[in-house]
Amino acid sequence: MLSIKDLRASVEGKEILKGINLDVNAGEVHAIMGPNGSGKSTLASVLAGREEYEVTGGSVDFLGKDILELSPEDRAREGLFLAFQYPVEIPGVSTTNFIKTAVNEKRKYHGQPPLDAVSFMKLMKEKMNLVEIDKSLLTRSINEGFSGGEKKKNEIFQMAMLEPKLTILDETDSGLDIDALRIVANGVNKLRDENRAIIVITHYQRLLDYLQPDFVHVLLNGKIVKSGTKELALELEEKGYDFIKDEFSLSEAV
């Protein structure tokens, strides 16, 4: 589904991604971990097409398309969804209106007519139950004054509404209380199927306990330096990143 080859990107002349290689197949869940500032969010942004990051090398194939050639909106319409680490507030635009616009823009791209009000409301109700989101949030301006947890839930709600092929969750677990974490994780699990894939960026084991990733990768200084199964996450939790750093600098030295 997604194939990243030697991806390099920089911002303001500074190289942040230094040759990322990653293959994600349909049905898989991949976790990306790594210390602060290692480039996790940058990778997510580059995949989503944020223009302030300059891609300086490599390629990204998504469902047979070179997505680096596509605009951010077309990447989204092709089925790429990024749950933001810091969701943005847009005063005056209600969550419902925002999502309705997003859903219909995607439908338009795929040559489908816009959803009528009734079908849209039906879809909303169904997905609201899935992520147990409070109804009152939907009439408020999107993300404006939402608590940290509410913002994250709202991201998952949008994911549910847009039914993306590939979802990137950027620290969706941070800021969530124990119940909210469970709800969000269950929501994500319910949206999993053999046609969809998920990349989870996280610092903590808690979310991975729920999601049971197929693979865990460690991103360090703009490179994936170690990949393994979910046991790798447990090892990291126990030992911290130092052992990888040591291992890595050792191998670099060789």
Partner 1 sequence: MKEELDVLEETVSRDYQYGFVTDIETDVVPKGLNENVIRLISQKKNEPEWMLNWRLKAYAHWLKMEEPEWANVKYPPIDFQDIIYYAAPKKKAKVNGLDEVDPELLKTFDKLGISLNEQKRLTGVAVDVVMDSVSVATSFKKQLSEVGIIFCSISEAIQNHPELVRKYLGSVVPMTDNYFAALNSAVFTDGSFCYIPKGVRCPMELSTYFRINTENSGQFERTLIVAEDESYVSYLEGCTAPKRDENQLHAAVVELFAHRKAEIKYSTVQNWFPGDENGQGGIYNFVTKRGICMGDYSKISWSQVETGSAITWKYPSVILKGDNSIGEFYSVALTNHHQQADTGTKMLHLGKNTRSRIVSKGISAGQSQNSYRGLVRAGKHALNARNYSQCDSLLLGDKCGAHTFPYIESKNKTAVIEHEATTSKIGEDQLFYCRQRGIDTEAAVALIVTGFAKEVMNQLPMEFAVEAQKLLAVSLEGSVG
- The site for Mg ion (CB under 5 A) is made up of 40-41, 85
44-73: which residues touch ligand ATP (CB under 6 A)?
52
Q: Does 71 bind partner 1 (CB under 8 A)?
A: yes
What is the token pair recorded at 252? 């670099």
171-200: which residues touch partner 1 (CB under 8 A)?
none
Q: Does 196 bind ligand ATP (CB under 6 A)?
A: no
Angle, CA 8 vertex, CA 67 and CA 233 arms, to 5°: 90
Q: Does 56 bind partner 1 (CB under 8 A)?
A: no
83-142: which residues touch ligand ATP (CB under 6 A)?
85
CB of 118 to partner 1, least distance (A): 20
CB of 201 to ligand ATP, least distance (A): 7
Residue 94 CA to residue 138 CA, distance in Å, equals 7
Write b or e for each residue in 55-83: b if 16 or more Cβ atoms lie within 10 A of its Cβ, otherwise e.
eeebebebeeeebbebeeeebbbbbbbbb
Residue 77 touches which of ligand ATP, Mg ion, partner 1, none (Cβ within 5-8 Å per kind): partner 1
Q: Which stretch binds ligand ATP (CB under 6 A): 34-42, 61-69, 136-144, 235-243?
A: 34-42
Q: Are 8 and 214 in contact (CB under 8 A)?
A: no
Torsion of the alpha carbons at 132, 85, 175 and 134, rounded to the nearest 10: -20
What is the token pair recorded at 184? 């969000």
DSSP for 17-75, please give it.
Answer: EEEEEEEE-TT-EEEEE--TTSSHHHHHHHHHT-TTSEEEEEEEEETTEEGGGS-HHHH
Q: Which stretch binds ligand ATP (CB under 6 A): 29-37, 90-98, 229-237, 245-253?
A: 29-37
CB of 232 to ligand ATP, least distance (A): 17
Residue 12 touches which of partner 1, ligand ATP, Mg ion, none (Cβ within 5-8 Å per kind): ligand ATP
Please give the residue ranges that form the binding site for partner 1 (CB under 8 A).
48-52, 71-73, 75-77, 81-82, 84, 87-94, 97-99, 101-102, 105-106, 109, 141, 158, 162
